[in-house]
Amino acid sequence: MNMNLDPAIIVLFGASGDLSARKVIPALYNLYLDGLLPERYEIVGVARSNFSDEVLRERLHEGVNRFSRRGPAEAAAWVAFARQIHYLQAEYDDSRLYERLLQRGDPSGEKQPNIIFYLATPPNLFSTIIEQLGKSPALRGDERYRIVIEKPFGHDLESAKALNQKLLHVFVEQQIYRIDHYLGKETVQNILAFRFGNAIWEPIWNRNYIDHVQITVAEKIGIGQRGRYYDSAGALRDMIQNHLMQLLCLIAMEAPSSFAADEVRNKKVDVLQAIRLISKEKVPEHAVRGQYGQGWVDGKPVQAYRREKDVYAVSNTETFAALKLFIDNWRWQGIPFYLRTGKMMPERISEISLQFRPVPHHPFAHLNAQVFQPNRLVIQIEPNEGVVLRTQAKEPGLGMQLKPVDMMYCYKDVFRRPSPDAYETLLVDIMRNDPGLFMRADQVEAAWNVIQPVLDVWGETAELNFPNYQPGQWGPAEAESLTARDRRTWLVPVSFEPKREGC
Ligand code: BG6
């Protein structure tokens, strides 16, 4: 694909940090290999460490070798790519840094480069950088300048509003790219193609046919070296406020009339605003929190969350969260959406299941009711990107015995080429100035608004049972009660293997 992108300077604040080495630079390097970077580009790494261009390049090289989806970098390609990486050592509150950055570019070049300010720093530096950028009023409204903000976008509704205000004082919305990397994932984008590129789903995609929806994003890993951040965040802020809420929007939204950025985002905001707010008294009925203790995963001992590095010894932070939400609109009235996410779960799996209602009457009454399963549509994002429709089939043999069978397709199998990493997709969209896959101010605030009552209640009350699940379990027993109270259960994730080669 020839993008013909305008020249760009990517100013990477926090260039010496984890995110730059793990995500941003490997993505840019892969875009370079695919010929998807502008012909003229420069990456200006900014950080406080005392580095040279060479030291920064070496550090980022290691990141690419470890984290690039293509594996270790090929020497010549890396050298050619890295030639365009430069380093600026500076304090973030030093106004001379910003003067130097804005003077950058090639004044003699035919086309002035776009300047993309990428904030890959810890969130406590966002304000300083935005304020400093705000000293140049020419930035506001000029789409040659764009700002990219990583999550966490605020710590709660109030701080998210304050951050939005600060940003919107310096930039207009069209210049702001708030990242939720889930939106860049292929299968997540495929939800829109699946729903609105096929006519057969729409008639059944509603309360008349769907019994409930489940969204699970489970991770097998713990918090690694991120204790400092994670202990002040927790699963609700880290995953539900952003990633799971966006998945819910894609499943629940009305059909957009086009894929124009604001049209799609308007439809998502409609969903968020229709989610019934949980009153404080009802939080225990609608929300469950968990924290892992010590135990074993894959035969290896795992220490309790409270013993992890940089975690408070009696931490009240949840590493598992589950919610039951209702959407008060015509399509979804009365249909529960169960969301759950956690660290140290039995499997790494991200999956959305639409459980359909049972048949109104079935003539197979003599069959074992256990065998009979209502239809289920599963969109799996991890570990296999694909879609499964569970139906009933007659087992071969005399008589009528039914058995659930899966109709499935798996991305790798069908398309037989690797998907780009979410960050690659998002970076290209930033460079071509398309904010459709990014979070608008009102989306972020509406999502905080939904979880705010739960945050409030959990913040006010310590969970005396922590730790309440062992590594390798699907969260605490209370999570089972959340669905069991409604005579439902959490669904067992579907397995693509070993049914199809390549899946
Ligand atoms: C991040 C969270 O946003 O998403 C992490 O901060 C989490 O805690 C990660 O591990 C999961 O992303 P992915 O793409 O690996 O599912």
**Residue 38: alpha-carbon gap to chain centroid:** 26
Regarding predicted confidence, which is higher, 239 or 107?
239
pLDDT in tens, 79-99: 999 999 999 999 999 999 999
Nearest alpha carbon to residue 236 among 162, 342, 134: 342
Buried b (16+ CB within 10 A) or exposed e, 144-171: bbbbbbbbbbbbbbeebbebbeebeebb
501: pLDDT strictly greater than 60: no
Q: How far apart are CA 31 and CA 237, in angstroms?
A: 31
Give the residue-averaged pLDDT of 225-251.
96
Q: What residue owns the CA closest to ligand 1's atom 9?
A: 239
Q: Which residues contact 59 (CB under 8 A, 6 or more apart)?
A: 16, 21, 51
Please give the radius of gyration of the chain, using alpha carbons only, rounded to the nearest integer. 24
Ligand 1 atom nearest the C-alpha of 242 is 3
Q: How far apart are CA 159 and CA 48, in angstroms?
A: 26
| 405 DSSP assignment | E
Please give the pLDDT value at position 411: 85
Contact criterion met (CB below 8 Å) for 98 and 135: yes
Please give the pLDDT value at position 365: 62
pLDDT in tens, 359-404: 888 777 666 655 678 999 999 998 988 999 999 998 898 878 888 8
pTM (two decimals) = 0.95
The Å distance, Cα 79 to ligand 1 centre, comes to 30
Q: What region does 32 belong to: left with phi over 0, alpha with psi -120 to 50, or beta?
A: alpha
Beta-bridge partners for 178: 149, 439
Cis-peptide into 363, omega within 30 deg = no
| 240 DSSP assignment | I
Distances (CA, A) of 233 to 101, 228, 236, 317, 376: 32, 9, 8, 7, 33
Nearest alpha carbon to residue 217 among 337, 354, 382: 382
Would you place residue 257 in the very low, low, confident or very high pLDDT band (cuts 50, 70, 90)?
very high
Beta-bridge partners for 461: none
105: pLDDT strictly greater than 80: no
Please give the pLDDT value at position 418: 84
Would you place residue 261 in the very low, low, confident or very high pLDDT band (cuts 50, 70, 90)?
very high
Give the residue-averaged pLDDT of 254-277.
97
Task: Assess whether the C-beta atom of 219 lies below 6 angstroms from ligand 1.
Answer: yes
Give the residue-averaged pLDDT of 335-355.
97
- Which residue of the set 212, 243, 286, 362 is catalytic? 243
Q: What region does 146 belong to: left with phi over 0, alpha with psi -120 to 50, or beta?
A: beta
Report residue 302: phi and psi, to 5°: -130, 135
Q: What residue owns the CA closest to ligand 1's atom 8?
A: 238
pLDDT in tens, 141-182: 999 999 999 989 999 999 999 999 999 999 999 999 999 999
Beta-strand runs (E) in 55-187: 85-89, 114-119, 145-149, 176-178
Cis-peptide into 152, omega within 30 deg = yes
The Å distance, Cα 226 to ligand 1 centre, comes to 11
Regarding predicted confidence, which is higher, 15 or 411?
15
Report helix, strand or coil for 387.
strand
Q: What count of residues does the chain have?
A: 503
Distances (CA, A) of 119 to 11, 130, 336: 8, 9, 37
Ligand 1 atom nearest the C-alpha of 217 is 16
Report helix, strand or coil for 9.
strand
Tokens 């929300």 belong to which residue? Answer: 287
Contact criterion met (CB below 8 Å) for 381 and 187: yes
Contact criterion met (CB below 8 Å) for 1 and 400: no
pLDDT in tens, 178-193: 999 999 999 899 999 9
Q: Using alpha carbons only, what angle is made at residue 470 by residues 230 and 503, rounded to the nearest 5 degrees?
A: 80
Q: How far apart are CA 494 and CA 380, in angstroms?
A: 8
Would you place residue 503 in the very low, low, confident or very high pLDDT band (cuts 50, 70, 90)?
low
Q: Which residues contact 354 (CB under 8 A, 6 or more apart)?
A: 205, 210, 213, 251, 376, 377, 378
Task: Assess whether the C-beta atom of 238 lies below 6 angstroms from ligand 1.
Answer: yes
500: pLDDT strictly greater than 60: no
Mutate to test the pocket of ligand 1, among 219, 228, 319 (most ligand atoms within 8 A of CB): 219
Contact criterion met (CB below 8 Å) for 426 and 437: yes
Joined tokens for residue 241:
């406020």
Ligand 1 atom nearest the C-alpha of 348 is 16
The answer to whether residue 212 is catalytic is no
